[in-house]
């Protein structure tokens, strides 16, 4: 059996004496979209930083295609793994195309000359993020959703087989959230990219995730198919919120809806005065 694209084995991490992650294990396969869910402070971002080699685990180990991140040179690492953070800089002083072309950096030679192949990769990345028409625009003129797509396009141009996304849709409207997930789904299906997405959107994660990893208090509470993980019991245990889980009649995916707690004596309508 070949090594998974990205794996954590018994990974723990402390920050200032506080355990942020305890004994976390999981593996991401090529072509798979795994979504990490969990409340704020559950350790999602820390997990992504450990996996990307930004942080080193206190114990346990991380392996990218079977090798620890420390074994890779920076450029080699970037050719195998890309990371999209929450927001690209608002005031970045370049055009969309120049910004996306920065993703080619780990593939360039010493003097940084871009080949026709590099330019073609940039054009393809722009097209798959739906930004071809905006390529010449300054990045600062884009909307939040378009800017986020530009960040995704830069990661696509980087052409790594594993892609990590840290709450990429946090500030986006529903249309841009759906667009984001469809781009990632295509990358996984067509190019065999293994994608790990940290998110807060339970229903969308159930719709687009091949797998859900539910983190709470620095532990993996559940890991599996969306319908196995996203049960009312698990969601309550992780988030402390009562939810109802049913199926989306159109797609059959799990649908999670919060259950509003009714207070006695409170009318649904405002007091007419």
Partner 1 sequence: MRPLVVYPLLGAAFAGAMALSLATGSTHIPPGDVLAALSGGGADTAARVVRELRLPRALLGAMVGGALSVSGVAFQALLRNPLADPYILGVSGGAAVGALIASLFLAGAFLPLPACAFLGAAMAATVVFLLARRGGGVTRERLVLMGVVVGAFLNALIMMMVTMAPPGKIPGAIYWLMGDLGQGTLPRVFLLAPYVLIGLVALMTMSRGLDLLLLGDEAAFHAGLPVERVKTVLYLTASLLAGSVVAVSGLIGFVGLIVPHGARVLVGSAHRRLLPAALLLGAAFLTFADVAARTLSPSGELPVGAVTALVGAPFFLALLRGRRGGP
Which residues make up the interface to partner 1 (CB under 8 A)? 52, 54, 73-75, 77-79, 81-83, 85, 88-89, 92-95, 98, 102-103, 105-106, 108, 110-112, 154, 158
Secondary element (H or E) of residue 184: helix 174-191
Provide the minimum distance between the beta carbon of 98 and partner 1 in the complex, in angstroms, as a whole number.
6
Secondary element (H or E) of residue 258: strand 254-258
Would you say 93 or 252 has its CB closer to partner 1?
Answer: 93
The side-by-side arrangement of strands in the sheet containing 211-216 is: 81-84, 162-166, 194-198, 33-37, 211-216, 219-224
Would you say 98 or 210 has its CB closer to partner 1?
Answer: 98
The side-by-side arrangement of strands in the sheet containing 18-28 is: 18-28, 6-15, 59-64
Provide the minimum distance between the beta carbon of 18 and partner 1 in the complex, in angstroms, as a whole number.
16
Would you say 110 or 264 has its CB closer to partner 1?
Answer: 110
Would you say 65 or 253 has its CB closer to partner 1?
Answer: 65
Provide the minimum distance between the beta carbon of 106 and partner 1 in the complex, in angstroms, as a whole number.
3
Provide the minimum distance between the beta carbon of 1 and partner 1 in the complex, in angstroms, as a whole number.
29
Evaluate the CA torsion angle 139, 142, 143, 148 in order and state its sign: negative
Would you say 135 or 229 has its CB closer to partner 1?
Answer: 135
146 Cβ contact partners less than 8 Å away, ≥ 6 residues apart: 131, 134
Would you say 164 or 256 has its CB closer to partner 1?
Answer: 164
Provide the minimum distance between the beta carbon of 269 and partner 1 in the complex, in angstroms, as a whole number.
43
Q: Both tokens of residue 229?
A: 């993980």
Q: Both tokens of residue 56?
A: 């080193």
Would you say 38 or 88 has its CB closer to partner 1?
Answer: 88
Which one-letter DSSP state was computed for residue 138?
Answer: B
Q: Both tokens of residue 174?
A: 């529903």
Provide the minimum distance between the beta carbon of 212 and partner 1 in the complex, in angstroms, as a whole number.
24
Cα Rg of the chain (Å, integer): 20
Provide the minimum distance between the beta carbon of 151 and partner 1 in the complex, in angstroms, as a whole number.
9
Which one-letter DSSP state was computed for residue 95?
Answer: B
Count of CB atoms within 10 A of residue 234's CB? 19
């Amino acid at each position: 059996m070949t090594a998974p694209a990205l794996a954590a084995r018994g990974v723990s991490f402390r920050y200032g004496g506080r355990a942020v992650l305890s004994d976390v294990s999981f593996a991401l396969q090529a072509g798979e979209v795994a979504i990490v869910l969990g409340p704020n402070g559950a350790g999602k971002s820390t997990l992504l930083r450990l996996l990307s080699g930004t942080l080193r685990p206190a114990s346990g180990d991380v392996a990218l295609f079977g090798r620890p991140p420390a074994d890779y040179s920076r450029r080699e690492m970037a050719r195998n793994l890309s990371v999209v953070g929450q927001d690209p800089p608002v005031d970045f002083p370049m055009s969309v195309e120049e910004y996306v072309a920065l993703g080619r950096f780990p593939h360039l030679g010493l003097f940084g000359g871009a080949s026709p192949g590099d330019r073609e990769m940039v054009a393809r990345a722009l097209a798959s993020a739906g930004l071809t028409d905006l390529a010449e625009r300054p990045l600062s003129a884009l909307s939040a959703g378009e800017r986020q797509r530009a960040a995704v396009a830069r990661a696509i141009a980087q052409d790594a087989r594993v892609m990590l996304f840290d709450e990429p849709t946090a500030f986006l409207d529903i249309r841009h959230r759906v667009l984001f997930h469809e781009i990632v789904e295509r990358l996984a299906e067509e190019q065999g990219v293994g994608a790990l997405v940290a998110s807060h959107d339970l229903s969308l994660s159930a719709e687009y995730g091949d797998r859900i990893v539910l983190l709470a208090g620095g532990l993996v509470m559940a890991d599996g198919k969306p319908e196995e993980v996203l049960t009312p019991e698990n969601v309550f245990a992780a988030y402390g919120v009562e939810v109802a889980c049913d199926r989306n009649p159109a797609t059959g995916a799990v649908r999670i809806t919060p259950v509003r707690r009714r207070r006695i004596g409170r009318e649904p309508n405002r007091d007419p005065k």
